[in-house]
């Protein structure tokens, strides 16, 4: 088997020199080569003295099954009617550089034949050149025929779409997150954790194979960065760099802890708070909150227990009980809270409450709440109920906070520190975008939370 393959390879190598010559003038060909050589390396890197892969390795490839064209950037699968394991594999001439943020290369499937199977991935130095990347340990490959990702575990994992003739597929290593990533036609297909065992140098690798085809004609071009990538590598790099800069920023100790605590205080989540405090005392090491924070918390801790009870009542829909408690504790608010009657007896009456300066927004919210709490009077019905109750609970909470004689600004009653910080973040991102001529991303909390 082996010897016949070798023979095969030799004869095919002979053919391959014609492969390039066919459509090309020799002068143009050299001109192009020169241009390729002078163009930039795949990824722009500071202080990088590593040599990046520029071409395919013609010596250590499974020559029996594939032919690397003399430009060393095209692979053709040549043999006919072979078995499933007669795979043509070729690595790049150099391993992927490691002293950089990420490495990336692409292939273009010029012709996948009728039943062609193509795989792109990374393999280590001693990889068996008869195997698809991902079939063996210490390799990883995204396979075009089934769209699965193989990581040397005998079976593939669901990963992305299949790919075939006309598709550009890319493979990359993100060293910052220790992940492989693959792209199809310029779009990220997915990332996969780079196994810790996959140490050592990794070679960009492609495999081509076809089975039971009368005459297999598979042609794959490789792009090690000589041409523009279909995938916007630059944007990815920018994002990564930015992310790393951001990750490096140091925060005051326990700041997140303190903000969460103040959030719980602000909204009157008293039970959560006490569990939280209890737990943080028993952690190793215990969490210490800076003394100066305690000063601020006196204000947001105002009437904590009453606010907690009211929130509970409102969330449970016990509005009458909430209002009677409010009446006992905060007669000045219930004047406004008498809204309930107003809703029942006529909405016109509401108007006069709206004129109470400062409470305008709050009253409006309350009115909305009261409307929805009586489903028979609401056109929106039950759907909104839950969130509407939260809204009302938050509003009542803010109103009670505003009765604190120490309160200086009304705004502060409506928002916890945490929310103020995030609003500032949103504002900064928007401001920055407008400074850049409306270009760039906005900050969306929803997106961060769902990612």
Instruction: Kindly state whether residue 379 participates in binding other proteins, applying the rule CB under 8 A.
Output: no
| Positions of E strands within 382-426 | none
> Which letter, b or e, does each residue of 407-443 get, where b requires 16 or more Cβ atoms within 10 Å of its Cβ?
eeeeebbbbbbbeeeeeeeeeeeeeeeeeeeeeeeee
Smallest gap from residue 200 Cβ to other proteins (A): 12
Of 12-20, 101-109, 205-213, 308-316, the window that binds other proteins (rule: CB under 8 A) is 308-316
* Among 13, 162, 191, 280, interactor with other proteins by CB under 8 A: 280
Smallest gap from residue 353 Cβ to other proteins (A): 28
Smallest gap from residue 421 Cβ to other proteins (A): 5
Instruction: Kindly state whether residue 126 participates in binding other proteins, applying the rule CB under 8 A.
Output: no
Instruction: Kindly state whether residue 418 participates in binding other proteins, applying the rule CB under 8 A.
Output: yes
Cβ atoms of 364 and 435 closer than 8 Å: no
Which C-beta is closer to other proteins: that of 51 or that of 271? 271
Give the three-state DSSP class for 378.
coil
Instruction: Kindly state whether residue 44 participates in binding other proteins, applying the rule CB under 8 A.
Output: no
Instruction: Kindly state whether residue 58 participates in binding other proteins, applying the rule CB under 8 A.
Output: no
Q: Which of residues 188-247 bind other proteins (CB under 8 A)?
A: 195-197, 242, 245-247
Find the angle CA(120)-CA(3)-CA(126) to the nearest 5 degrees.
Answer: 40
Minimal CA–CA distance to 445: which of 425, 431, 428?
Answer: 425
Helix 385-402 and helix 304-315, axial crossing angle in degrees, nearest 10? 160
Smallest gap from residue 259 Cβ to other proteins (A): 7
Instruction: Kindly state whether residue 271 participates in binding other proteins, applying the rule CB under 8 A.
Output: yes
Instruction: Kindly state whether residue 355 participates in binding other proteins, applying the rule CB under 8 A.
Output: no
Joined together, the tokens standing for residue 311 give 């929130």
Cβ atoms of 103 and 173 closer than 8 Å: yes
Minimal CA–CA distance to 139: which of 118, 158, 121?
Answer: 121
CA distance 169 to 108: 6
> Distance of CA 78 to CAs 61, 227, 270, 393, Å?
13, 26, 73, 72
Instruction: Kindly state whether residue 419 participates in binding other proteins, applying the rule CB under 8 A.
Output: yes
Instruction: Kindly state whether residue 324 participates in binding other proteins, applying the rule CB under 8 A.
Output: no
Instruction: Kindly state whether residue 445 participates in binding other proteins, applying the rule CB under 8 A.
Output: yes
Instruction: Kindly state whether residue 51 participates in binding other proteins, applying the rule CB under 8 A.
Output: no
* Among 264, 366, 370, 398, interactor with other proteins by CB under 8 A: 264
Instruction: Kindly state whether residue 443 participates in binding other proteins, applying the rule CB under 8 A.
Output: yes
Please, is 38 exposed, middle or buried when counting C-beta atoms within 10 Å of its C-beta (0-12, 13-18, 19+)? exposed
Smallest gap from residue 449 Cβ to other proteins (A): 5
Peptide bond into 285 cis (omega under 30): yes
Instruction: Kindly state whether residue 296 participates in binding other proteins, applying the rule CB under 8 A.
Output: yes
Joined together, the tokens standing for residue 33 give 């080569």
Peptide bond into 306 cis (omega under 30): no
Which C-beta is closer to other proteins: that of 39 or that of 256? 256
Which C-beta is closer to other proteins: that of 32 or that of 271? 271
Q: Which residues bind other proteins (CB under 8 A)?
A: 195-197, 242, 245-247, 249, 251-252, 255-260, 263-264, 267, 269-276, 278-280, 284-285, 290, 292-293, 296, 308, 311-312, 315, 386, 390, 416-422, 424-425, 428-429, 431-432, 435, 443, 445, 448-449
């Amino acid at each position: 088997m082996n010897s016949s393959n070798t023979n095969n390879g030799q004869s095919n190598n002979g053919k391959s020199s014609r492969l390039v010559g066919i459509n090309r003038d020799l002068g143009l060909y050299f001109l192009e080569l020169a241009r390729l050589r002078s163009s930039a390396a795949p990824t722009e890197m500071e202080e990088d003295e590593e040599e990046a892969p520029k071409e395919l390795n013609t010596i250590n490839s499974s020559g029996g099954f594939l032919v690397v064209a003399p430009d060393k950037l095209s692979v053709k699968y040549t043999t006919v009617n072979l078995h499933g394991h007669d795979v043509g594999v070729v690595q790049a001439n150099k391993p992927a550089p490691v002293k950089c943020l990420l490495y990336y290369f692409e292939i273009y499937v010029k012709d996948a034949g009728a039943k062609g199977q193509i795989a792109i991935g990374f393999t280590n130095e001693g990889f068996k050149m008869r195997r698809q990347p991902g079939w063996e340990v210490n390799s990883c490959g995204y396979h075009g025929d089934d769209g699965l990702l193989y990581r040397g575990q005998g079976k593939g994992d669901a990963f992305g779409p299949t790919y075939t003739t006309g598709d550009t597929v890319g493979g990359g290593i993100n060293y910052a997150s220790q992940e492989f990533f693959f792209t199809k036609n310029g779009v990220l297909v997915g990332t996969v954790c780079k196994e810790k065992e996959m140490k050592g140098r990794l070679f960009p690798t492609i495999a081509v194979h076809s089975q039971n085809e009368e005459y297999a004609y598979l042609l794959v071009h490789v792009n090690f960065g000589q041409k523009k990538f279909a995938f916007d590598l630059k944007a990815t790099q920018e994002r990564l760099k930015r992310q790393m800069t951001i990750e490096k920023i140091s925060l005051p100790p326990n700041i997140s802890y303190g903000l969460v605590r103040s959030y719980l205080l602000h909204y009157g989540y008293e039970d959560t708070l006490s569990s939280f405090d209890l737990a943080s005392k028993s952690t190793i090491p215990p969490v210490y909150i800076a003394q100066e924070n305690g000063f601020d918390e006196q204000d947001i801790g105002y009437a904590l227990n009453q606010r907690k009870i009211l929130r509970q009542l409102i969330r449970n829909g016990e509005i009458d009980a909430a209002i009677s408690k409010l009446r006992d504790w905060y007669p000045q608010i219930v004047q406004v809270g008498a809204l309930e009657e107003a809703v029942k007896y006529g909405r016109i009456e509401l108007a006069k409450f709206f004129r109470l300066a400062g409470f305008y927004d709050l009253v409006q919210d309350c009115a909305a709440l009261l409307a929805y709490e009586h489903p028979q009077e609401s056109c929106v019905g039950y759907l909104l109920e839950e969130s509407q109750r939260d809204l009302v609970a938050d509003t009542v909470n803010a109103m009670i906070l505003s009765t604190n004689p120490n309160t200086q600004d009304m705004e502060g009653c409506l928002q916890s520190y945490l929310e103020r910080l995030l609003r500032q973040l949103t504002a900064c991102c928007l401001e920055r975008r407008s400074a850049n001529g409306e270009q760039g991303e906005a900050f969306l909390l929803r997106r961060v939370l769902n990612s």
